[in-house]
Amino acid sequence: MTDGPTYGFDTLQIHAGARPDPATGARQTPIYQTTAYVFRDTDHAAALFNLQEVGFIYSRLTNPTVAVLQERIATLEGGVGAVCCSSGHAAQIMAIFPLMGPGKNIIASTRLYGGTVTQFSQTIKRFGWSCKFVDFDDLDAVRAAVDDDTRAIFGEVIANPGGHIMDVRAIADIADEAGVPLIIDNTSATPYLCRPIEHGATLVVHSTTKYLTGNGTVTGGCVVDSGKFDWSANDKFPSLSQPEPAYHGLKFHETFGALAYTFHGIAIGLRDLGMTMNPQAAHYTLMGIETLSLRMDRHVANAKKIAEWLENDNRIEAVTYAGLKSSPYYERGAKLCPKGAGALFTIAVKGGYEACVKLVEALEIFSHVANLGDTRSLVIHSASTTHRQLSTEQQVAAGAGPNVVRISVGTEDPDDLIADLDQALSKAAS
Ligand SMILES: *Cc1c(COP(=O)(O)O)cnc(C)c1O
């Protein structure tokens, strides 16, 4: 199909990027389980390697199944192009790689997925990169953290684990003033609930492992480019604006215009870092994404019903869901994510650590796992698992204190989920 602006989200999540297979007419996108592609002749091969013609060379760079998913996600996010990767964490490295160099830094929100905090605070230091973590509700502090070596600002719309909502527009304005891109991790919201590019984001990253695939089958990631950033407006992004020695002096921005960042991601990022999504994973994610809006509506309705029930239960101290009128993020959430504030939040349980351990052990439908965004409802007690190595003080600062359980609400019957929580909370209190 040709993607027109007239098509709605429900149509695009099924059709964008896909067409009947030209070789066989297969209606569903085939899994192109191949490493390489035969060149028509040596001129064709040379044109492909010179990026004068777009086509398939080798599946570390491009694959037809993965290409459909890339176009699908780019369309749903309102971007010009996307590059899929082997995981959400791979997508984050791929996203900042073209922007960074030794001594350069990014500014990130303090409210992030735990693995992202470790990646940005520890692992990227090995590349000579660094990250400053700032409370994104304190705009003056964000502005003050920007320096001459800052190359990007990074945050999550609906932040893990507490479901805090970020003021994307206000942070985008600070990024604009600084002449650097704003990168949004849109994993928890998905493009159905929020399209960060419409609020000023330059780049959007996803862990496609979560809601986009939707049923906990494969890991994957994606980097989407809005195509709106002027990489040549200042001298901060030489890999995009200047001759790139890793691609025989090609000037990506001059050559590819709005698609410069996407081409760079494939021709240099995937080529040299090799964090490639495999076609099987792309297939599973394409299957999942077809029902994204249907699932998200149900995730949100269930989350709202369960959060309201929990808020009124006297075994619970607090519920962080931004979809509750009592949440300090309720207004911002309603503006940014009018269809709902997602399905991820935390609860503080009376009785502390011991009660939380009993609760997760007593639950029958909810699974105790380190994952989110599954059709299955999931819980995790961070203090005894992912945040075990931290001091109590550090756990509290991360929103994962000893009395906190994170809930990822699935698409089961909400009354069954409430009944399960009810019986498990009774056991936790005894
Ligand atoms: C899971 C997750 C990631 C990391 O993605 P992986 O696919 O597990 O590598 C990053 N950000 C958020 C918000 C996540 O939920």
CA of 330 to the centre of ligand 1 (A): 24
Number of Cβ atoms within 10 Å of the Cβ of 316: 17
CATH class of 292-429: alpha beta
Contact of 327 with 310, CB cutoff 8 Å: no
More confident residue, 400 or 208: 208
pLDDT above 70 (res 52): yes
Check if 9-288 and 292-429 are the same fold. no
**Sheet with 378-380, side-by-side order of all strands:** 316-319, 344-349, 404-408, 378-380, 367-368
The domain segmentation of the chain, as residue ranges, is 9-288, 292-429
Q: Which atom of ligand 1 is nearest to the CA of 372?
A: 15
Q: Is 371 in the pocket of ligand 1 (CB under 6 A)?
A: no
- Measured between alpha carbons, how far is 430 from 392 in angstroms, rounded to an integer? 24
pLDDT above 90 (res 83): yes
pLDDT above 60 (res 277): yes
The pLDDT value recorded for residue 305 is 98
The pLDDT value recorded for residue 2 is 52
More confident residue, 386 or 346: 346
Q: By percentage, how much of the chain surpasses pLDDT 90?
A: 87
List CB contacts of 323: < 8 A, sequence separation 6 or more: 300, 303, 304, 307, 330, 333, 340, 341, 342
CA of 221 to the centre of ligand 1 (A): 8
**β-pair type (130-134, 105-109):** parallel
- Measured between alpha carbons, how far is 101 from 123 in angstroms, rounded to an integer? 14
Q: Is 191 in the pocket of ligand 1 (CB under 6 A)?
A: no
SS3 at position 292: helix
Q: Is 290 in the pocket of ligand 1 (CB under 6 A)?
A: no
Q: Give the least confident one: 148-157, 357-366, 367-376, 380-389.
A: 380-389
Token readout for 288 is 């999942």
pLDDT above 70 (res 4): no
pLDDT above 60 (res 3): no
More confident residue, 223 or 398: 223
CA of 369 to the centre of ligand 1 (A): 14
CA of 20 to the centre of ligand 1 (A): 32
Q: Is 386 in the pocket of ligand 1 (CB under 6 A)?
A: no
pLDDT above 60 (res 101): yes
The pLDDT value recorded for residue 397 is 74
- What pLDDT, in 10s, does the model give residues 326-350? 999 999 999 999 999 999 999 999 9
pLDDT band of residue 382 (cuts 50, 70, 90) is confident
- What pLDDT, in 10s, does the model give residues 279-306? 999 999 999 999 999 999 999 999 999 9
Q: Give the least confident one: 80-89, 210-219, 226-235, 396-405.
A: 396-405
**Arch. (CATH architecture) of 9-288:** 3-Layer(aba) Sandwich (3.40)
Q: What is the mean pLDDT of the chain?
A: 95
The pLDDT value recorded for residue 5 is 57
